[in-house]
Amino acid sequence: MDRFLSGNEYVLRPTQTIQSRTDLRGVITFVNRTLTEVSGYSREELVGAPHSLLRHPQIPRTIYYVMWETIKAEREFYGYVNNRAKNGDNYWVIAYIAPHYGSDKMLDGFSSVRRAPLRERIPEWTDIYDQLNQVEAKYPRKDQCVAGKDWLGNYLHKRTPYTDLTQYVLSGL
């Protein structure tokens, strides 16, 4: 089901922290109250739903590809992400996603903590994502993420000492 975009932005306060946990497939298993308040979804609507429910269409597929590649390798991921609330509003976050291990010490999912981003960095990330969406549009769906990842690595390497998205995000915090 396509959901509309309202064109309104919810701006997180510096004191707000959004938390969630998913299983290995990205199905939500835990949310905190802040996520329900910001997203407009109830706990019952979120738990059991794919985390992609909150995905904003502006964010390129490549970013999620890089995120999944990183966290499935049991490494931490940081990224600027624009999410979509139930009412169509958007809200920017800096997302931190880490592996979550069960009592048996086996990977059983992923934990995410999101907080207010640095507002002055949002135009930069909007521009990067716009360019990345243009790159993806040039390729068939099956090739978009690989092409996008190559473009992103080259983009970061030309402008920064980093070729890794997480390193670049952390460098600006």
pLDDT tens track for 55-95: 999 999 999 999 999 999 999 999 999 999 999 999 999 99
pLDDT tens track for 100-147: 999 999 999 999 999 999 999 999 999 999 999 999 999 999 999 999
Q: Exposure string (b/e) for 80-106, b if CB count within 10 Å is 16 or more?
A: bbbbbbeeebbbbbbbbbebbeeeeee
| Domain assignment of residue 9, yes or no | no
| Domain assignment of residue 6, yes or no | no
| Domain assignment of residue 64, yes or no | yes
| Domain assignment of residue 40, yes or no | yes
Q: CA–CA separation, 142 vs 149, rounded Å?
A: 13
Query: Which CATH number is 45's domain given?
Result: 3.30.450.20
| Domain assignment of residue 34, yes or no | yes
The number of beta carbons lying within 10 Å of the beta carbon of residue 115 is 17
pTM: 0.88
Q: Residue 86: in which H helix or E strand, if any?
A: none
| Domain assignment of residue 10, yes or no | no
Helical ranges in the chain per DSSP H = 33-39, 43-46, 61-72, 122-137, 141-159, 165-171
| Domain assignment of residue 11, yes or no | no
DSSP 12: P
The total domain count for the chain is: 1
**Domain coverage including residue 90:** 17-171
